[in-house]
Chains A and B, each alone.
Chain A
Amino acid sequence: MNTRCLLDQLLAPGSLRAEFQPVFQVSATRPPVHYLEGLLRGPAGSNVERPEVLFAYARRKRAEVAMDRASLITVLSAARALGDVSIGVNVHATTLAVDLQFLPFLWDVLMETGIEARRLVLEVVEHGHVWDRRVFGFNLDGLRRLGVRLALDDFGTGEANYLMLLECRPDYLKVDRYFVHGCHTDARRQAVLDSLAGLAGRVGGRVIAEGIETLGELDRVRSAGIELAQGFLLGRPGPAAGWPMAACS
């Protein structure tokens, strides 16, 4: 009889794994990888293999901080094999708003893995709206001083909104795939993308279009002036071994 809680099993060393999906600079003729987003995966074949279920479970267990820490260790450990490319890691806004030990923890992981802070892009995800802005601001200021870049994930949906844009002052706005899907044939989505590209320019960030699946979507995103993109058309998630150092440089 297995009496261990699933959370304990997931947080045990070696239980979680990371895959990497590229964010490309699509404005270039031969688009280089801008950074690789590390995506956490639960144990293969389990109910929580997919990250959306894994993180939903962690939120239900009120274990965002523990899961985010496990995610940073898992992704950055796997990223040691990736040369000098920048690495994106997801972190809940709530973790940044409650964990006063986040900065020393992150620093330890960076030291342990030998990954420089300038290579790290923290992708802030948010699923709730009640959090302590004081601690959030403290952590964000520390991250910026370390040279860590910030991305606001899933922008335009849920709680990833204008309030977060002002609070976070992100280097990147990751526009949710909802706005990208079919944008080349939908004037309303085109209007949203054009608007976000203009907004990002004014607040000092760069837009990343998520979920590019067709050439039509890629062309439309480019014509909106969006220079960074991610999606199955450009590169599917895969293990670190699938990203040779030469391809990432």
Chain B
Amino acid sequence: MRLQRLSPNTGARPDHPPRRLLILDDEEAILLPLSEFFREHGYCVVATREPEEAEALLDHDPFDLVILDLALTRFGREGLEVLSAIRSHSPWLPVIILSGNISPEIEDLAAELKADAVLMKPQPLDELAMRVAELLGDRR
């Protein structure tokens, strides 16, 4: 993914704790730069490759937004399955799905599960950051 300068829509807000993002992607080559990018822009990022680890974290920690890979093939799970689990206990939580292959069927399923955005991989990081800020109501 392309690293681009981003401002002013970041997770750092004066007099507020940083926004907390949970990022789930089974590919470290995507997870690491994505996490680093959002950390550099003031977000508190918890990154994980495993869906069960993400679910355990969601059980115990508050997050402001989740970025979710659609195909978690390394662990035999689908991102939509994780989204369904998130929706069952945190229907208010903004969720962005990233996928290398977006079909109308996937869009329909994601909409049914109330995904807040379905974005194509690779996604320019500045555009992704804009969507995050929009969903968090931080865009000025």
A-side interface residues toward B, CB under 8 Å? 1-3, 5-6, 47-48, 50, 52-54, 56-57, 59-61
Provide the bound-state CA to CA distance between A169 and B46, in Å: 41
Do B52 and A57 have beta carbons less than 8 Å apart? yes
Contacts of A1 in B (CB 8 A): 28-29
Contacts of A61 in B (CB 8 A): 52
Contacts of B56 in A (CB 8 A): 48, 53-54, 56-57, 59-60
What distance in Å separates the Cβ of B89 from its nearest Cβ neighbour in chain A?
12
Do A6 and B28 have beta carbons less than 8 Å apart? no
Scoring A1, A6, A54, A59 by chain B CB atoms within 10 A of each residue's CB, the highest score goes to A6
Nearest B residue to A56 via CB reads B56
Is B106 part of the binding interface, using a Cβ–Cβ cutoff of 8 Å? no
Contacts of B52 in A (CB 8 A): 57, 60-61
Contacts of A54 in B (CB 8 A): 56
Do A48 and B53 have beta carbons less than 8 Å apart? yes
Provide the bound-state CA to CA distance between A2 and B55, in Å: 20
Is B50 part of the binding interface, using a Cβ–Cβ cutoff of 8 Å? yes
Nearest B residue to A62 via CB reads B52
A-B contact pairs, 26 of them (CB 8 A): A1-B28, A3-B74, A5-B75, A6-B49, A6-B53, A47-B46, A47-B48, A47-B53, A50-B60, A52-B59, A52-B60, A53-B56, A53-B59, A53-B60, A54-B56, A56-B55, A56-B56, A56-B60, A57-B52, A57-B53, A57-B56, A59-B56, A60-B52, A60-B53, A60-B55, A61-B52
Query: Given known contacts A47-B46, A57-B52, A57-B53, is B60 in contact with A2 (CB within 8 Å)?
Result: no
- Apart from A5-B50, A6-B49, A47-B53, what are 12 other A-B pairs with CB-CB below 8 Å? A6-B53, A47-B46, A47-B48, A47-B57, A53-B56, A53-B57, A54-B56, A56-B55, A56-B60, A57-B56, A60-B53, A60-B55
Provide the bound-state CA to CA distance between A163 and B138, in Å: 49
Query: Given known contacts A56-B59, A56-B60, is B28 in contact with A2 (CB within 8 Å)?
Result: yes
What distance in Å separates the Cβ of B29 from its nearest Cβ neighbour in chain A?
7
Contacts of B75 in A (CB 8 A): 5
Nearest B residue to A55 via CB reads B56
What distance in Å separates the Cβ of A72 from its nearest Cβ neighbour in chain B?
21
What distance in Å separates the Cβ of A126 from its nearest Cβ neighbour in chain B?
16
Contacts of A47 in B (CB 8 A): 46, 48, 53, 57
Contacts of A60 in B (CB 8 A): 52-53, 55-56
What distance in Å separates the Cβ of B38 from its nearest Cβ neighbour in chain A?
16
What distance in Å separates the Cβ of B77 from its nearest Cβ neighbour in chain A?
11
What distance in Å separates the Cβ of B57 from its nearest Cβ neighbour in chain A?
6
Contact of A6 among B29, B50, B59, B60 (CB under 8 A): B50
Q: Which of B50-108 contact A (CB under 8 A)?
A: 50, 52-53, 55-57, 59-61, 74-75
Contacts of B57 in A (CB 8 A): 47, 53
Provide the bound-state CA to CA distance between A53 and B46, in Å: 13
